[in-house]
Amino acid sequence: MIRSFRHCLHLLRVARVLSRHDALFPRELLEASPPGFRVVRRLTRLGLPAWAGSGGDSAGKTPGERLSAALQSLGPSYIKLGQSLATRPDLVGGEVADALSELQDHLPPFPGETARQIVADELMAPVETLFESFDNEPVAAASIAQVHFAVTRDGKPVAVKILRPDVEAAFARDLEPILWIAAKLEAWQPEMRRLRPCEVVRTFADSVAIEMDLRLEAAAAEELGENARANEDGFVIPAVDWRRTGRRVLTTERVSGLPIADHDALVAAGHDTHRLAAKLLRGFLSQAMGDGFFHADLHPGNLFVTEEGEIAAVDFGIMGRLDKNSRRYLAEILLGFVRADYASVARVHFDAGYVPRNKSPELFAQAMRAVGEPVLGRPAKEISLSRILAQLFQVTKAFDMQTQPQLLLLQKTMVVAEGVAQKLDPDINTWDITSPLVEGLMQAHFSPVARAQEVLEEGVDAVRRLPGFLRRAERAVQMIADGSFQLDPDTLQELAKANPHGVRLGTVIVWILLAFALGLAFSLG
């Protein structure tokens, strides 16, 4: 009860801030809202100035922009939550998601002396013994951490990322009431269960927890770097200095290059912006579809162009993963759309389990045609992979499709990557650049030959594990034979309760004996 009361007070404060920005129940939606919404809106606005939400900073802004401003004023946890919601157009709507994707994660820096003390405490050594020089002024300050430039004792320029003091406690304090209200929404509004708000918050909490352990970010950077070097995809990932890295401190080599958003500087330096745009898109799809591990925060502030014309990425706190089946399904869906083979697109959705089996494949194929034709009827250079996925998510409600968080994160990142590429080259033909890569990945990883090879490898692995399994089975049979393995009556009763469908111990013993007999046959053969 006390906890619920505390959560209600916290959420009331949040509601007041949202009302001040006219972001709780936007005025554009009042006419169609139930009377109760209007009552709540008036209650949360009691005591606010008359101009709040209808003038001042909110004047002329869209609902999404007002929500973005409100979250910015609520602080770090809500800034991060807004960025997470930007990946959920199915939950907040496309317009709001677009506005939230512009939410800037910039906060005033904490003092340089505090940063030095955190480094010394975390790495258990004075800063002076670790670095030849350490800049007191940070080059970037965000909600979770800030970055300082330094030079190691052996003369290597590095970037040192340092967590904010007490940031873990602040996020835990804000996340608890958010999860509480998400659970209430699922309980009170059955329609909300399809959108899985509790899972959204937990996924957000997990991603923040990863961001607040910089050793995990270091591991992500190293894995991504290994993949990039193996693929030779033109992405440069800074090396991690593990000696100067801990839970609250991450040290990497310093990236030297021009910001990818500075188009004029890139042209002046002689870089081919069309080639850079193509490299960005191919590199991202190679990460996502080839390796199943991708940088999920490819906004312009995290991308630089080196003197050699390579794209260097920084900040690996938000990463995405796709398992092999998801990658295959996604590739088949994209190719099906481009070939206007909507029956194939529908089949893949049913095969993947994205659409419930009680739905009509023919009706779903018809819905896919309604998604694909407006997009693919345009000139080739206007075909957008992210637009295809965004349109696809709009039909999820009609067919009771459960949200696929991993695909939403991919779509959000694809939107950002395409946006950066189009600023580098407004005439870029996204599909012409990426379709050969998608088809190549399909051939390399998902063709019948590749699948046969995978089955063969799994079979070899199973055979490799068979002797150990048979040895364990032989020991189990021997224990049963000499009476050293016994179950008392109480244990047997518990096993019966745990197996209500009547799986008997004797059946298990028969399978063990059969495995032992097979092992004997193998040894005699």
Q: Where does residue 380 fall: left (phi above 0), alpha (psi -120 to 50 degrees), or beta otherwise?
A: alpha
Catalytic residues: 297
Q: What are phi and psi of 270, to 5 degrees?
A: 90, 15
Which residues in 153-269 belong to E strands, given as ranges? 157-163, 235-236, 249-253, 258-259
And the tokens for 59? 């004047």
Block mean pLDDT (10 aa), the chain, length 525: 74 78 64 56 56 53 83 81 73 75 78 96 95 95 92 96 90 82 76 69 78 93 93 86 96 94 94 93 89 90 93 91 86 79 89 86 89 67 64 70 72 83 85 76 64 61 67 65 57 52 47 48 47
So what's the pLDDT on residue 523? Answer: 47
DSSP state letters, 144-161:
SEEEEEEEETTS-EEEEE
So what's the pLDDT on residue 477? Answer: 60
Q: What is the pTM of this model?
A: 0.72
Say how far residue 282 (Cα) sits from the centre of its chain: 19
DSSP state letters, 211-227:
HT-HHHHHHHHHHHHHH
> Number of helices and strands (H, E) in the chain?
22, 11
And the tokens for 58? 């909110």
User: Residue 133 to residues 151, 186, 245, 315: CA-CA distances in angstroms?
Assistant: 5, 53, 17, 22
So what's the pLDDT on residue 495? Answer: 47
So what's the pLDDT on residue 125? Answer: 95
So what's the pLDDT on residue 478? Answer: 67
293 DSSP 8-state letter: E
User: Residue 430 to residues 223, 370, 387, 413: CA-CA distances in angstroms?
Assistant: 27, 21, 11, 15
So what's the pLDDT on residue 242? Answer: 96
Which residues, 6+ apart, have CB-to-CB distance to 220 below 8 Å?
316, 319
Burial 117-143 (b: 16+ CB within 10 A, else e): ebbbebbeeebeebbeebeeebebbbb
Classify residue 61 as exposed, middle or buried by CB count within 10 Å of its CB (0-12, 13-18, 19+): middle
Q: Which is it for the CA torsion 5, 7, 12, 13, positive or negative?
A: positive
